[in-house]
Structure 1
Amino acid sequence: MAYWQDQGKAPTACVDTFGCQQNVADGQRIMGMLQTMGFTFTDEPAQADLVLLNTCAVREHAEKRVYGNLGALTHTKKANPAQVICLCGCMAQQPSVAKKVRESYRHVDLVFGPHALWRFPELLYQVYTRRGRVFSIDDEPGTIAEGLPVVRDKGVKAWVSIIYGCNNFCSYCIVPYVRGRERSRDAECILEEVRGLVAEGYKDITLLGQNVNSYGRDLGTGMDFADLLARIDGEVEGDYLIRFMSSHPKDATPKLFDTMARCPHVARQLHLPFQSGNNRVLEAMNRRYTREKYLELVNYAKDVMPGLVLTSDVIIGFPGETEAEAMDTVSLVREVGFDALFTFIYSPRPGTAAAAMPDPATRAEKQVWFDRLLDAQNEISARQHAAYVGSTVRVLVDGESGDERWPLSSRTNGGRLVHLLGSRDLIGSFATARITDANTWALFGEAVE
């Protein structure tokens, strides 16, 4: 950036990302733009010329952490008045948050939402040249800007966004309000990005979207998500795995599962959030499928992909949910036999339909229901992991585990974590592992020839 050249120094930036993989992917593009502008990076806010918080609005806990971090930055700003502090991401897109930051966190210089991510260099230049605060949170359709630079983590894993926004308006979810309507990337651009990642040595590539199953509907080309998977599998050569998240059950189809089954590059892993096992609660959530439809989908997927690793998201304590309805969720967990769950006690998001619903159950009651859910899933996970002991599986060694007994970290085709005994030379490559032990959360094994 010419501004910093005039200052006679190389600036440093500290980028802190909260939330989902989509936020991680956005953060990597922000870092790419910063690097192109001449910034280097630090993990210490006190040492940074620019501090950027890339935020999540899905959970109340994440918002509290962001406000706490913003408050702490008053000290770094006081020590370095020229420091620029930025707030971006889903949380920043909410008018109520922007108002609070404008009034109560006056040391924050730049606020912009996901729609304006591609304009970040322009907005930052305004901060530096106008010497004033800049807010860009307009509710606009959103623009897909191809070709933005990316700074990715070194290793074997990479994220590729294929669709932005969401059209579903689940009653508990803030995402459609902060990320806008669904906008699919051009298939050729996605193929080019995946091809480039494989050439660079990435071997575990995850396709991202709030609902990947909606991919292509807005393009008018006739290509859907299953077709995109088939094209990547057939046209991108190399030894790699493709994963994806998240899928919405209302849009998941036998065609998708058949495509997964016949494409060797597509991992035998499916993250299919069901949220509740009770039909009344599902209707109140505006999920637009039933318990019966969900079971039909997962049973079909398991039939065409034996050994499929199945994970899901679950909310306990949705407004108005009774104990009996919460136990319907527990019974569905037992019936399906998920490999793992991402579990949450309902957290109200201002501006969503569910936030205005009566919610008579106490937090203590919800915690009891939640604990029953965890007990059920932990029992299932431990049993399924124990069944692996004595078997031999192919794994991708992705790094060090931090445990001297099992120094390597790896993942199976289905995404199961395997702590591995073997040479560090295996990091970054596929290997064969003999599973020797297991617990509720992971497998343990040794690399074999």
Structure 2
Amino acid sequence: MGQSLYIETYGCQMNVNDSELVASILTDAGYTLCQSAQDADIVLLNTCAIRDNAETRILGRLAHFRDLRATQTPHLTIGVLGCMASRLKGELLSPRVGANLVVGPDSYRELPRLLARAQNAVAIRLSDRETYQGIAPLRYATNGVSAFVSIMRGCDNHCTFCVVPFTRGTERSRDPLSILQEVEVLRDTGYREVTLLGQNVDSYRWSMGAEGDLPFAGLLERVARQAPGMRIRFSTSYPNDLTEAVLHTMAQYGNICPHIHLPVQSGSDRMLRAMRRKYTRAEYLQQVARIRAIIPTVAITTDIIAGFCGEQKVDHQATLSLMREVGYDAAFMFKYSDRPGTYAHNRLPDDVPEEVKTQRLAEIIELQNELSLQSNMHDVGREFEVLVEGDSKRSAEDACGRTGQNKMVVFKKQQSEPGQYAHVRIVSCTSQTLLGELV
């Protein structure tokens, strides 16, 4: 038996998928996955660098593993993978942090060789070609119902607040044939839902030779036809890159879920320019109207940043008014976090006081809770097809699953099992959850 391996994952869905790639690479090399860091010879942390509090949390975990090595497991190898590895590089090898291994998102194929060295190994070079084609992810921590499939890597947008172009490199798309083969394997092994992943899926493009280029709309249609019995989701869309062709494809195929995550970040044109977003408030609202005209049942969710550089009260009020105008079903909401290496860090003063950021974020969250409750109350009395994911966290007598709009539903499970579809009538709700009964 090879050395035992424990992987801990932070951040976005892309990191979850990357951890599955790492698990596949290392188990093929003879390593054995285990469920506890206490039982491991190697601990790998797949990290996120998008906000300071994410890095702070990971540094705390690294301190824990460093202490574990000092007191209980002297042979323990500690590795840092992902975006934080790209950003901090060799700093993570310092005695203060205690890592032995630092590997960026484009260097995972090198892990077996690097682990053989075990000490002070760094591989963080970004690639303009690596898509991990030919590696089948090891779905070691899924519910057996839903899975992620990466269709592209990197980002070319260079928003002023974002580290992703520096930690994950430029955009490159994956061969559609390999994507379809991966979806086919998931379909044949019983998965019922797949999410196509990319930092900006709408930038997906693959040359088909004499047939021309295959854009994201074409890939989405091929995946929907490849697995008609599976739900298809995708994330994330960039507002002015989302085409009508994608929307019409969603409307045409019933297995493509009517949910679009459309990050806005701010409702102020002044802030959007400072963030180097490539749309105006009016253009964003036009896109929302276009989406709802083509897909009337759609749910729209978003990302919002509070307290970006130079944000004034009028900019904050513009964000609140846009939220009301769109009526988001849900949102991810954050205080602005200055990230070294970004344009904002180098050129724009982080001049909104922390207490003001906190207050503005609280107002955004309060408003979104109201909007989410209104959205969920609209669903009371309606019936939905819910894909069962498992038991509710609060009671083994209840099942939970999601609607096509990605809303969580809890109901008495009776004979419902994970992976089955349940026909559920919504009888009540909170701002976060729909409560239903089997029909």
Query: 2:37 aligned to 21, 41, 45, which one?
Result: 45
Q: 1:427, 1:262 → 2: CA distance?
A: 27
Is the 2:173–2:204 Cα contact (8 Å) retained in structure 1? yes
Match in the other structure for 2:192? 203
Is the 1:70–1:105 Cα contact (8 Å) retained in structure 2? no
Query: 2:122 aligned to 135, 157, 162, which one?
Result: 135
Match in the other structure for 1:441? 432
Is the 2:306–2:334 Cα contact (8 Å) retained in structure 1? yes
Match in the other structure for 2:278? 288
Match status 1:391 vs 2:377: no
The alignment yields a C-alpha RMSD, in angstroms, of: 1.7
Is the 1:254–1:297 Cα contact (8 Å) retained in structure 2? no
Query: 2:217 aligned to 218, 221, 226, which one?
Result: 226
Is the 1:250–1:287 Cα contact (8 Å) retained in structure 2? no
Match in the other structure for 1:279? 269
Match in the other structure for 2:82? 89
Is the 2:183–2:227 Cα contact (8 Å) retained in structure 1? no
Distance 1:424 1:277, change over 3 A: same
TM-score by length of 1: 0.93
3-state secondary structure, aligned to 2:94: helix
How many Å apart are 1:424 and its aligned residue? Answer: 4.9
Match in the other structure for 2:181? 192
Match status 1:420 vs 2:383: no
Q: 1:287, 1:400 → 2: CA distance?
A: 40
Please give the residue correspondences for 1:359-370 in structure 2 after superposition, counting only pairs within 5 Å.
Answer: 359-370=350-361
3-state secondary structure, aligned to 1:87: strand
Match in the other structure for 2:302? 312
Provide Cα deviations, 1:252-287, integer angstroms capped at 9, x if missing partner.
122221111112221000001011111111011011
Q: 2:93, 2:42 → 1: CA distance?
A: 18
Match in the other structure for 1:410? 401
Distance 1:425 1:393, change over 3 A: closer
How many Å apart are 1:246 and its aligned residue? Answer: 0.4
Q: 2:52, 2:213 → 1: CA distance?
A: 39
Match status 1:150 vs 2:148: no
Farther-moved stretch of structure 1 (28-37 vs 439-448): 28-37
Match status 1:345 vs 2:332: no
Provide Cα deviations, 1:49-86, integer angstroms capped at 9, x if missing partner.
11001101101111011111111112222222222111
Match in the other structure for 1:176? 165
Distance 1:342 1:172, change over 3 A: same
Tell me the amino acid that sits aligned with residue 31 of structure 1: A
How many Å apart are 1:233 and its aligned residue? Answer: 1.7
How many Å apart are 1:218 and its aligned residue? Answer: 7.3
Is the 1:406–1:419 Cα contact (8 Å) retained in structure 2? no
Is the 1:50–1:84 Cα contact (8 Å) retained in structure 2? yes
Q: 1:81, 1:379 → 2: CA distance?
A: 51
Query: 1:33 aligned to 13, 21, 25, which one?
Result: 25
Provide Cα deviations, 1:333-357, integer angstroms capped at 9, x if missing partner.
0000110010011011001011231
Query: 1:14 aligned to 6, 25, 41, which one?
Result: 6
How many Å apart are 1:163 and its aligned residue? Answer: 0.5
Match in the other structure for 1:5? none
Q: 2:387, 2:93 → 1: CA distance?
A: 46
Match in the other structure for 1:216? 205
Is the 1:92–1:111 Cα contact (8 Å) retained in structure 2? yes
Tell me the amino acid that sits aligned with residue 84 of structure 2: M
* Percent sequence identity over aligned pairs: 37
How many Å apart are 1:317 and its aligned residue? Answer: 0.5
Q: 2:314, 2:360 → 1: CA distance?
A: 10
How many Å apart are 1:195 and its aligned residue? Answer: 1.4
How many Å apart are 1:105 and its aligned residue? Answer: 4.2
Unaligned runs of 5+ in 2: none
3-state secondary structure, aligned to 2:180: helix
TM-score by length of 2: 0.95
Q: 2:148, 2:134 → 1: CA distance?
A: 15
Query: 1:119 aligned to 104, 110, 119, which one?
Result: 110
Match status 1:68 vs 2:60: yes
Q: 1:314, 1:435 → 2: CA distance?
A: 29
Tell me the amino acid that sits aligned with residue 297 of structure 2: G
Provide Cα deviations, 1:268-320, integer angstroms capped at 9, x if missing partner.
00001011111111011011100011100111110111110110001110000
Match in the other structure for 1:109? 100
Match status 1:80 vs 2:67: no
Q: 1:406, 1:282 → 2: CA distance?
A: 47
Tell me the amino acid that sits aligned with residue 160 of structure 1: V
Farther-moved stretch of structure 1 (174-183 vs 219-228): 219-228
When the two structures are aligned, how many residues end up with a matched partner?
Answer: 433
Distance 1:197 1:139, change over 3 A: closer
Tell me the amino acid that sits aligned with residue 407 of structure 1: D
How many Å apart are 1:359 and its aligned residue? Answer: 3.0
